Amino acid sequence: MSATILRTRTVVFDVVVAGAVALFGVAAVSAQPGGWFSAAVGLGMAVALLWRRVRPAAVTAVVAALAFVQVALGWGPLPYDVAVLIALYSVVAYADRLRAGIVAGIVAAVGVVLAAVQTPSQVAWYFPALFYGLLTGAVWLMALNVRTRRLYVLSLEERAATLEREREAEARAAVAEERTRIARELHDVVAHSMAVMIVQADGARYMIDQSPETARTAVRIVADTGRQALEDMRRLVGVLREPDPAEPAAAPPPAPGPDRAGAHDGGGTDRDDPAGLTDEPTHRRPSVTEVPALLDRFRAAGLRVGWTVTGTPAPLSQGVELTVYRLVQEALTNALKHAGVGAGVQVTLHHAADTVLIDVVDDGRGRPAATPAPSGGHGLVGMRERVSVYDGSLTAGPRPAGGWQVRARLPLPSSPATEVSTV
């Protein structure tokens, strides 16, 4: 239900309540003491009740004053005095501080005694006083219960809003940290390419007279390396120029089951690495040829990992090779963390003419690890940022048969860009 509809229903309800009190005030104008003057008092109470939610303390003061005017003139309790109970309920339930409700309760207790004294009865005055007191006390306690529940709901909403803001802040920090890491690695790739260009250019300069063919080869390598370095530099600048990393779209939570103890989001910042799964010197640039050694480390940690390469391998740039390595590393880390020790994981690398496909599928049939699994990045956040650098796509989600699947597509330079998405 939208806030506008709820507000409209509240206003209509308050108007109906005020209208009922006004009707009580004029219905028996000829029979009640005071005649039209008494009816005017009842109409004043009815009009005041229109603001009982927004100004509960002021409305209660007005209604109480009119009620004491009624008592002072000796009219005794009248039907429209139900407005006193409504105002009492409102000040207890909706006032900013409960102190206003306590004061209203004390005033209502005095009014109960005065009303009981003026009530025509064949029994002692304290019997009507007991009846009025029980009725007033029940209304006060009911309003207190409503107030308590309302404040509890408001506190839950505020807590949820705070957690949402914290989650967004953590996600933004994770994206920013991951982009910094990607930029650092791309910087190393570009620096290596520049070093290769310098070496080849120096070699071509010395060999241009002795071996022109060797010099031409060196110049061609310089040109190819320069073009690749320029492309890597463009990607590096693209990562650094991103002004405000938006919150990444959350992957859907996996269906409840024994294969997942929690959301498979790949998050976490635990950098402890007892098995050496992510412990690599910062100056190293892992490549696709090192993936089998990475798989062996995860096998030693307890995963049953299969490795398949399909298609005709094509030469990949250092940046793409590094991205493939990191995607496999993070996907296996997620599998170890969430599927557990003993889970079966199949890693497939498919080479196509214009793309490289990475597919990591686990069966989710492991057991909880004795120690927390390490994380070299930020799970899906980091993988999504890496594929977006190369205009690729990433899909991740639970499998109908159980387990989890991560699939990434990296277009090669000749492949058109595609949009990053998560299912």
CA–CA distance, 171 with 155 (Å, rounded to integer): 24
Q: What CATH number labels 171-241?
A: 1.20.5
The confidence score (pLDDT) of residue 266 equals: 40
Q: Tokens for 250?
A: 């959350």
Q: Higher pLDDT residue, 349 or 419?
A: 349
Q: Which residue shows structure tokens 């009014």?
A: 111
155 in Cβ contact with 163 (< 8 Å)? no
271 in Cβ contact with 375 (< 8 Å)? yes
CA–CA distance, 186 with 370 (Å, rounded to integer): 35
The confidence score (pLDDT) of residue 244 equals: 52
- Is the torsion defined by CA of 96, 97, 100, 102 positive or negative? positive
Quote the strand ranges of 6-51, DSSP E: none
Partner residues linked to 231 by β-bridges = none
- Is the torsion defined by CA of 105, 106, 109, 110 positive or negative? negative
Query: What is the distance of C-alpha 351 from the center of its chain?
Result: 37
Q: What is the DSSP string of 95-110?
A: -SSHHHHHHHHHHHHH
Q: Higher pLDDT residue, 51 or 263?
A: 51
Q: Domain locations in the chain? A: 3-120, 171-241, 288-411
The confidence score (pLDDT) of residue 407 equals: 93
* Residues of the chain by 3-state class (helix, strand, coil), percent to 5: 60, 10, 30
Please tell me the least confidently modeled range out of 130-144, 236-250, 352-366, 368-382.
236-250
CA–CA distance, 47 with 49 (Å, rounded to integer): 5
pLDDT digits (tens, 9 = 90+) for 358-376: 999 998 887 765 555 554 5
The residue among 241, 237, 177, 166 whose CA lies nearest residue 376 is 177
408 in Cβ contact with 358 (< 8 Å)? yes
Residue 289: pLDDT above 80? yes
Please tell me the least confidently modeled range out of 28-42, 52-66, 147-161, 366-380.
366-380
The residue among 90, 3, 81, 5 whose CA lies nearest residue 46 is 81
The confidence score (pLDDT) of residue 273 equals: 46
pLDDT digits (tens, 9 = 90+) for 396-414: 989 888 889 999 999 986 5
Burial class (CB in 10 A: 0-12, 13-18, 19+), 245: middle
Q: Which residue shows structure tokens 């009725």?
A: 135
Task: Identify the helix (H) or strand (E) that includes residue 330.
Answer: helix 318-334
Q: Tokens for 236?
A: 């590096």
Residue 30: pLDDT above 70? no
The confidence score (pLDDT) of residue 267 equals: 42
261 three-class SS: coil
CA–CA distance, 177 with 79 (Å, rounded to integer): 69
Asked whether the domain spanning 288-411 has the same topology as the one spanning 171-241, the reply is no
The CATH number fitting domain 288-411, selected from 2.60.120.620, 3.30.565.10, 1.10.10.10, 3.20.20.10 = 3.30.565.10
Residue 416: pLDDT above 60? no
265 in Cβ contact with 251 (< 8 Å)? yes
Residue 337: pLDDT above 90? no
CA–CA distance, 161 with 155 (Å, rounded to integer): 10
pLDDT digits (tens, 9 = 90+) for 169-224: 887 887 777 777 777 777 777 777 787 788 888 888 888 888 888 888 888 888 87
Residue 420: pLDDT above 60? no
Residue 134: pLDDT above 80? yes
Task: Identify the helix (H) or strand (E) that includes residue 222.
Answer: helix 212-241
Q: Higher pLDDT residue, 151 or 274?
A: 151
Q: How many residues does the chain have?
A: 423
